[in-house]
Amino acid sequence: MNKAQLVETIADKVGGRQQAAEAVDAVLDAIVRAVVGGDRVSVTGFGSFEKVDRPARYARNPQTGERVRVKKTSVPRFRAGQGFKDLVSGSKKLPRGGEVSVKKAPKGSLSGGPSTRTTTKAAAKKATAKKATATKATAKKAAAKKTATKKTAAKKTTAAKKTATAKKATAKKTTTKKAAAKKTAPAKKATAKKAPARKATARKTAAKKATARKR
Protein backbone atom coordinates (compact mmCIF):
# COMPACT_ATOMS: atom_id res chain seq x y z
CA MET A 1 0.00 0.00 0.00
CA ASN A 2 1.34 3.38 -1.01
CA LYS A 3 0.30 6.85 0.11
CA ALA A 4 -2.43 7.22 -2.54
CA GLN A 5 -3.97 3.89 -1.57
CA LEU A 6 -3.83 4.89 2.09
CA VAL A 7 -5.69 8.11 1.29
CA GLU A 8 -8.33 6.18 -0.67
CA THR A 9 -8.74 3.77 2.24
CA ILE A 10 -9.52 6.45 4.81
CA ALA A 11 -11.33 8.85 2.45
CA ASP A 12 -14.81 7.53 3.35
CA LYS A 13 -14.15 7.73 7.08
CA VAL A 14 -12.74 11.28 6.96
CA GLY A 15 -15.32 12.77 4.61
CA GLY A 16 -13.61 12.88 1.24
CA ARG A 17 -10.36 12.30 -0.58
CA GLN A 18 -9.11 15.86 -0.11
CA GLN A 19 -9.64 15.74 3.64
CA ALA A 20 -7.99 12.32 3.81
CA ALA A 21 -4.94 13.54 1.90
CA GLU A 22 -4.63 16.58 4.16
CA ALA A 23 -4.97 14.41 7.26
CA VAL A 24 -2.29 11.95 6.10
CA ASP A 25 0.08 14.79 5.15
CA ALA A 26 -0.47 16.52 8.49
CA VAL A 27 0.19 13.34 10.50
CA LEU A 28 3.31 12.42 8.55
CA ASP A 29 4.65 15.99 8.68
CA ALA A 30 4.15 16.16 12.44
CA ILE A 31 5.93 12.82 12.97
CA VAL A 32 8.87 13.74 10.74
CA ARG A 33 9.37 17.15 12.33
CA ALA A 34 9.22 15.75 15.85
CA VAL A 35 11.71 12.96 15.12
CA VAL A 36 14.14 15.33 13.36
CA GLY A 37 13.96 17.64 16.37
CA GLY A 38 14.96 14.76 18.65
CA ASP A 39 11.52 14.00 20.08
CA ARG A 40 10.02 10.55 20.49
CA VAL A 41 6.55 10.15 18.95
CA SER A 42 4.69 7.39 20.73
CA VAL A 43 1.19 6.13 19.81
CA THR A 44 -0.16 3.75 22.43
CA GLY A 45 -0.80 0.29 20.99
CA PHE A 46 0.63 1.21 17.57
CA GLY A 47 4.29 2.05 18.13
CA SER A 48 6.85 4.81 18.54
CA PHE A 49 9.07 6.80 16.20
CA GLU A 50 12.43 8.10 17.43
CA LYS A 51 15.84 9.32 16.31
CA VAL A 52 18.81 7.00 16.91
CA ASP A 53 22.48 8.00 16.67
CA ARG A 54 24.85 5.47 15.14
CA PRO A 55 28.55 5.84 15.97
CA ALA A 56 31.29 5.58 13.38
CA ARG A 57 32.04 1.97 12.49
CA TYR A 58 33.57 -0.34 9.89
CA ALA A 59 31.40 -2.22 7.39
CA ARG A 60 31.99 -4.38 4.33
CA ASN A 61 31.02 -3.58 0.78
CA PRO A 62 28.68 -6.42 -0.27
CA GLN A 63 29.90 -6.28 -3.86
CA THR A 64 33.67 -6.19 -3.32
CA GLY A 65 33.94 -7.37 0.29
CA GLU A 66 36.22 -4.44 1.03
CA ARG A 67 36.24 -3.02 4.54
CA VAL A 68 34.82 0.51 4.51
CA ARG A 69 34.63 3.06 7.31
CA VAL A 70 31.13 4.43 7.88
CA LYS A 71 30.79 7.88 9.42
CA LYS A 72 28.69 8.73 12.44
CA THR A 73 25.05 9.27 11.47
CA SER A 74 21.50 9.49 12.80
CA VAL A 75 18.63 7.31 11.56
CA PRO A 76 14.89 7.15 12.32
CA ARG A 77 13.60 4.03 14.02
CA PHE A 78 10.09 2.67 14.52
CA ARG A 79 9.24 0.28 17.30
CA ALA A 80 5.91 -1.46 17.06
CA GLY A 81 3.66 -1.43 20.11
CA GLN A 82 2.54 -4.59 21.86
CA GLY A 83 -0.97 -4.43 20.38
CA PHE A 84 0.44 -4.11 16.86
CA LYS A 85 2.81 -7.03 17.50
CA ASP A 86 0.01 -9.21 18.81
CA LEU A 87 -2.12 -8.55 15.73
CA VAL A 88 0.78 -9.25 13.34
CA SER A 89 1.84 -12.43 15.16
CA GLY A 90 -1.72 -13.74 15.18
CA SER A 91 -2.15 -13.97 18.92
CA LYS A 92 -5.02 -11.52 18.48
CA LYS A 93 -7.45 -11.53 15.57
CA LEU A 94 -8.31 -8.55 13.44
CA PRO A 95 -11.95 -7.47 13.67
CA ARG A 96 -13.87 -7.94 10.42
CA GLY A 97 -15.62 -4.62 10.48
CA GLY A 98 -14.76 -1.29 12.05
CA GLU A 99 -11.43 0.03 13.29
CA VAL A 100 -8.65 -2.04 14.75
CA SER A 101 -8.94 -1.93 18.53
CA VAL A 102 -5.59 -1.16 20.09
CA LYS A 103 -4.95 -0.27 23.68
CA LYS A 104 -6.59 2.95 24.66
CA ALA A 105 -4.43 5.84 25.71
CA PRO A 106 -4.20 6.24 29.50
CA LYS A 107 -6.16 9.01 31.15
CA GLY A 108 -4.39 12.36 31.04
CA SER A 109 -2.01 11.39 28.23
CA LEU A 110 -4.03 13.29 25.64
CA SER A 111 -4.38 16.37 27.85
CA GLY A 112 -1.76 19.05 27.68
CA GLY A 113 0.97 17.70 29.94
CA PRO A 114 4.71 18.23 29.84
CA SER A 115 5.70 17.01 26.41
CA THR A 116 8.99 15.50 25.44
CA ARG A 117 9.63 18.44 23.15
CA THR A 118 9.88 20.84 26.08
CA THR A 119 12.25 18.51 27.89
CA THR A 120 14.44 18.17 24.82
CA LYS A 121 14.46 21.96 24.38
CA ALA A 122 15.49 22.39 28.00
CA ALA A 123 18.26 19.84 27.55
CA ALA A 124 19.41 21.62 24.40
CA LYS A 125 19.47 24.95 26.27
CA LYS A 126 21.53 23.40 29.06
CA ALA A 127 23.97 21.93 26.54
CA THR A 128 24.38 25.29 24.79
CA ALA A 129 24.91 27.01 28.15
CA LYS A 130 27.60 24.48 29.04
CA LYS A 131 29.29 25.02 25.68
CA ALA A 132 29.18 28.79 26.17
CA THR A 133 30.77 28.53 29.62
CA ALA A 134 33.43 26.18 28.25
CA THR A 135 34.28 28.60 25.44
CA LYS A 136 34.47 31.48 27.92
CA ALA A 137 36.82 29.48 30.15
CA THR A 138 39.07 28.66 27.19
CA ALA A 139 39.08 32.32 26.11
CA LYS A 140 40.09 33.40 29.64
CA LYS A 141 42.90 30.82 29.67
CA ALA A 142 44.14 32.01 26.29
CA ALA A 143 44.10 35.65 27.46
CA ALA A 144 46.01 34.72 30.63
CA LYS A 145 48.61 32.87 28.55
CA LYS A 146 49.01 35.88 26.26
CA THR A 147 49.51 38.26 29.18
CA ALA A 148 52.03 35.88 30.76
CA THR A 149 54.01 35.65 27.53
CA LYS A 150 53.95 39.45 27.17
CA LYS A 151 55.24 39.89 30.73
CA THR A 152 58.06 37.38 30.20
CA ALA A 153 59.01 39.07 26.92
CA ALA A 154 59.06 42.48 28.63
CA LYS A 155 61.23 41.10 31.44
CA LYS A 156 63.65 39.59 28.92
CA THR A 157 63.91 42.86 26.98
CA THR A 158 64.55 44.89 30.16
CA ALA A 159 67.20 42.42 31.28
CA ALA A 160 68.85 42.58 27.86
CA LYS A 161 68.83 46.40 27.99
CA LYS A 162 70.39 46.38 31.46
CA THR A 163 73.15 44.00 30.37
CA ALA A 164 73.80 46.11 27.24
CA THR A 165 74.10 49.31 29.29
CA ALA A 166 76.37 47.54 31.79
CA LYS A 167 78.63 46.36 28.98
CA LYS A 168 78.75 49.87 27.53
CA ALA A 169 79.68 51.33 30.93
CA THR A 170 82.47 48.76 31.43
CA ALA A 171 83.74 49.47 27.90
CA LYS A 172 83.85 53.21 28.67
CA LYS A 173 85.74 52.57 31.91
CA THR A 174 88.32 50.43 30.14
CA THR A 175 88.82 53.09 27.44
CA THR A 176 89.26 55.82 30.07
CA LYS A 177 91.79 53.64 31.94
CA LYS A 178 93.74 53.06 28.73
CA ALA A 179 93.76 56.80 27.97
CA ALA A 180 95.02 57.56 31.49
CA ALA A 181 97.72 54.92 31.11
CA LYS A 182 98.82 56.49 27.81
CA LYS A 183 99.04 59.92 29.45
CA THR A 184 101.11 58.66 32.39
CA ALA A 185 103.53 56.76 30.11
CA PRO A 186 104.99 59.88 28.36
CA ALA A 187 105.35 61.62 31.75
CA LYS A 188 107.41 58.70 33.05
CA LYS A 189 109.59 58.82 29.93
CA ALA A 190 110.17 62.54 30.41
CA THR A 191 111.27 62.01 34.00
CA ALA A 192 113.53 59.24 32.79
CA LYS A 193 115.13 61.62 30.25
CA LYS A 194 115.69 64.28 32.92
CA ALA A 195 117.79 61.86 35.00
CA PRO A 196 120.92 62.05 32.69
CA ALA A 197 120.85 65.86 32.94
CA ARG A 198 121.26 65.60 36.68
CA LYS A 199 124.24 63.30 36.16
CA ALA A 200 125.87 65.87 33.82
CA THR A 201 125.46 68.66 36.39
CA ALA A 202 126.97 66.44 39.02
CA ARG A 203 130.02 65.87 36.79
CA LYS A 204 130.43 69.60 36.19
CA THR A 205 130.39 70.29 39.91
CA ALA A 206 132.97 67.58 40.45
CA ALA A 207 135.19 69.12 37.75
CA LYS A 208 134.88 72.55 39.32
CA LYS A 209 135.91 71.15 42.68
CA ALA A 210 138.94 69.44 41.11
CA THR A 211 140.09 72.69 39.45
CA ALA A 212 139.66 74.58 42.68
CA ARG A 213 141.87 72.10 44.54
CA LYS A 214 144.59 72.39 41.91
CA ARG A 215 144.76 76.13 42.36
Q: To which H or E segment does residue 196 belong?
A: helix 116-214
**Does pTM top 0.75 for this prediction?**
no
Per-residue pLDDT in tens (0 to 9) along the chain, 215 residues: 999 999 999 998 888 999 999 999 999 999 999 999 999 999 998 999 999 999 999 999 999 999 999 999 999 999 999 989 999 998 888 877 666 655 555 555 554 444 444 444 555 555 556 666 666 666 677 667 776 667 766 677 666 777 777 777 777 776 667 766 666 555 555 554 555 556 566 777 777 777 767 65
Distance of alpha carbon 166 from alpha carbon 160, whole angstroms: 10
Indicate the pairing of strand 67-70 with strand 47-54.
unpaired
Q: What is the DSSP letter of 93?
A: P
